[in-house]
Structure 1
Amino acid sequence: MSKIASDFDFTSYIQLVDFLGHCFDENTEVVLYDFKDINHSIIKIHNGHISGRSVGDPLTSFAMSKLKDKGKECPPYYVNYLSMSKNGTPLRSNSFFILDKQGNPRGMLCINTDVTKYQQAAELLQKLAFIPSIKSKEKENNISENNNNFNTNIEALHSSARDMIDEIIYDVTKSREISVERLTVDEKMEIVRRLNEEKFFLIKGAVSEVASILNVSIATIYRYLSKINKNI
């Protein structure tokens, strides 16, 4: 499997991916990121079918949003948080930031486990014990607002930068069928704001790609970003 050249020695971590990959079953993905090129950040992955990703795919929005903090925080890891594959599969994720001798983040090792079978088993046990499921309790108590707040914290594992943009467009418009020409200025501004919040514009060429997708000029994207940053 090919890997991207880096000025940091990831040899032992690449071997660790292989080791951990064989420790877990096929429902667990182990992935190694190099922060040198966040647009093609994955340099090693085991069981990539879990998230649908492969070597050369980009860094996640979650990692980009945390990238500036790591090295300042201790310990340099996040455990047992919820993420979602691009096909909607729920995953239990753990991320460890790899630091150099100066404490600078150079990469990240992640373990993502498909928890679908565990959820199905839990629901079966709830039925056998005559305990209402979490989903039915939420429906009865009409707590969709809390549900929405929870979903905003779920990491989405995208296989491309375009996937991330499309998902945010859907989140803003609540439609996967709407054409770019029908987007309002406020909707485009909100899409850019969300992408900026996810640190998407750290990716090389991101501004031109977003401009192309939203059918506006590069200058317009920079104008949006200027307005957004003034309001932060």
Structure 2
Amino acid sequence: MTSPPLRDIQAVLFDLDGTLFDRETAVRDVVAGQYAVFSRELAGVTQERFVGRVLELDAHGYGDKSEIYPRVVRELGLPEPLAARLHAHFWDAYARTAHALPGARATLAALRARGLRLGVVTNGRVRVQEGKLRALDLLGALDAVLISEREQLRKPDPAIFRRAVERLGVRAAQACYVGDHPEKDVLSARDAGLHAVWLRTPHFPPPEVAHTAIDGLGELLALV
């Protein structure tokens, strides 16, 4: 179900991965780069097989990162210590990637020009998530950044959204949250009293609750 355009919005909050940050491209590039960095250890394994299996287990960001590389190493018959090195390399490279989704920077700038308060609510580690925002040059555009590790709260807990609107100085009904995941983003934001905006993606099914749906971040400018 799609709701009408939003009114009286004073703040816009965003998910990071898959919403502002092009996670799919970033992960593919990092893993492909690993094949080159670890070419000697991966000799005998094709790039297609290595990259494909890591991406499959990653499951668009919802695979257990601590288990992906040990499993890949076992399946490919590689030396066990290689798993820890691949895991550490992934997080170091991933935190420095600068893949913004189309329209991310321009949309934030346009919303800021209208006087709206802006923020990010994301799960993950502070070093990694702030590293991505820094690489994207978006930190300066945000009034609040809530990261699960620092907040000791994780989506889909509605409490992290309530904390976010409190920091922005608005009521939940005056804020919308934009994200790509139907439960962790859309449902949990609605449970916290925010307007939910789903950024359509082929990776997840549509949310089963009322929401506004967009195909690109630039469409927000016609909604708020």
> TM-score by structure 2 length?
0.29
Report which structure shows greater RCO (CA 8 Å, sep ≥6): 2
Rg larger in structure: 1
Higher strand share: 1
